Amino acid sequence: MSSMSMNVRIRLSIMMFLQYMMFAVWWVQLGGYLGRTGVSATWQFWILAVMPLGCAVAPVLCMIADRHFASQKVLMALNVACAVLFFLGARQDSPATLFVILLLAMLCYMPTWSLTNAIAMANAPAEKFPQIRVFGSIGWVASGVFGLGALWLFDSKIDSTLIPLYCGAGTALVAALLNLTLPNTPPPAKGQKASVVDALGLRAIGLLKDLNFTLFLLIALLVMTPFTLYFSLGSQFFESKGFKLVTVLMNWGQLVEIFLMLLVPLALAKFGVKWTMAIGLAALAVRYLTLWAGVATDTIFLYYIAILVHGIIFGFFFVGGQVYVDKKAPPQMRAQAQGLYVLLCYGVGQFLGTLISVKLVTGYATDGVTNWTPVFTISTIIAAGLLGALYLLFRDDVTEKKAAPAAVVPSAS
């Protein structure tokens, strides 16, 4: 694909914008809703675990789609299903029913990140893909407009309620209608042998014979515990501190991420993979140190520092890690290795991170009120410990340092 029309570029950009908006509008504030309504720790965990569970299954569903159906048709069908499930989820009072509905929704939604990437890359020159993909991050940030609109137009606060699921349903329906106008993208692997092992990247397990690579994957998996605390339960903390527009507040981190991502290739070229990832881990430690200090001194501006470093954490550590995986794997196994990285981080790591984070938040709660000081202390220690492990044990054993990420890992931001 050497060129594309402006019309196609606009449609692909809107596709990305809507695909990430429909998720961010309700996910960002979901932890706040669960905390406000007093849902038990067990159900908090399972409801917040629907995303990593969806991540684990997504590669298998994408593999099936790649071999049998046009990508834009699969995307449309999944978005229609999401619209229905989000709508049903918004009407639930039972946490058990909410879990089942959101799990089904995530089984439909999580494959769409790979599908939208595939559609964009099939219909746009490779060098234009980042300019199209960035609209997904813009859509994530723009999801805060629903909360602002409700406050300004109806003097009503919808954060920490299930109303944002209605917003997600409406956005999903609009996205499905737009999908009808996307360029035809035939199944790229039609007729090829299907393998669950390949889809999950499990053939790359042989790379674990390299102890340095294994150490990196272990650190990346463990990093998901402090990362998930903010990603899934940050809204619960900010809600407890009296912030009204939590989605808008937390999306400032994604706004900064859009610009900081431009610095990642420069950091990789100048510092190499190890120090680029170390910068990301240092920012993670700074996040929880400033949150701890903010609680201890009741200083609100420290909370904003914790929010704004998000782009450094995600871009420098996770995308830097993706580049390391790409360099370590043989050319014929790079896709497999990336699949293993995503499965371990966003599937296994985020699942375990959700379990540990919920136990921390509920374990230090009395009469439903969490004492955030020990939660942030423990998270700071974990982040600092992982930074120390990276510094002392990990070797930058890839020779070519000047490289930019070929494709950004789907934003969990």
**Residue 180 CB burial class (10 angstroms; 0-12, 13-18, ≥19):** exposed
In this structure, what CATH number is given to the domain that contains residue 136? 1.20.1250.20
What pLDDT band is residue 213 in, cutting at 50, 70 and 90? very high
Q: Tell me the two tokens of residue 188.
A: 């790229």
* Residue 167 in this model has a pLDDT that exceeds 80: yes
Handedness of CA 407, 66, 99, 140 (dihedral sign): positive
Please indicate, yes or no, whether residues 71 and 155 belong to a single structural domain of this protein.
Answer: yes
What residue type is assigned to position 405 of the chain?
A: P
> What pLDDT, on a 0 to 100 scale, did the predictor assign at position 401?
42
Which of 177, 107, 113, 178 has its CA nearest to residue 140? 113
Whether residue 213 sits in one domain with residue 179: no
Residue 257: predicted pLDDT: 86
Query: CA-to-CA distance for 57 and 200, rounded, in angstroms?
Result: 9
Q: Do 112 and 246 belong together in one domain?
A: no
From the number of C-beta atoms within 10 Å of its C-beta (0-12, 13-18, 19+), residue 63 rates as buried
Domain containing 30 equals: 9-183
Residue 227 sits in the same domain as residue 159: no
Mean pLDDT for 263-286 is 92
- Three-state DSSP state, 366: strand
The CA–CA distances, whole Å, from 224 to 10, 218, 372 equal 34, 10, 19
Query: What is the count of structural domains for the chain?
Result: 2
Residues 104 and 235 reside in one and the same domain: no
Q: Do 82 and 172 touch, CB atoms closer than 8 A?
A: yes
> Residue 410: inside a domain, yes or no?
no
Residue 321 domain flag = yes
Same domain for 139 and 218, yes or no, is no
> How buried is residue 41: exposed, middle or buried, by Cβ count under 10 Å (0-12/13-18/19+)?
middle
Two tokens at 152? 């300004």
197 domain-assigned: no
Checking if the pLDDT of 404 tops 70, the result is no
Residue 399, pLDDT above cutoff 70: no
How much is the pTM? 0.88
Of the candidates 290, 303, 312, 284, the residue with the CA atom closest to the CA atom of residue 385? 284
Q: Is residue 302 part of a domain?
A: yes
Residue 157 shares a structural domain with residue 208: no
In the chain, the amino acid numbered 381 is I
Phi, psi of 369 (to 5 degrees): -110, 120
Residue 4 lies in a domain: no
> Each residue of 80-129: pLDDT tens digit?
999 999 999 999 989 999 999 999 999 999 989 888 888 888 888 877 88
Q: Does a structural domain hold residue 108? A: yes
Q: Which residues contact 319 (CB under 8 A, 6 or more apart)?
A: 261, 264, 405, 408, 409
Largest CA distance in the chain: 62
| 206 plus 176 within the same structural domain | no
pLDDT value of position 188: 67
- In this predicted structure, which of 131-140, 213-222, 398-407 has the lowest mean pLDDT? 398-407
| Residue 299 domain flag | yes
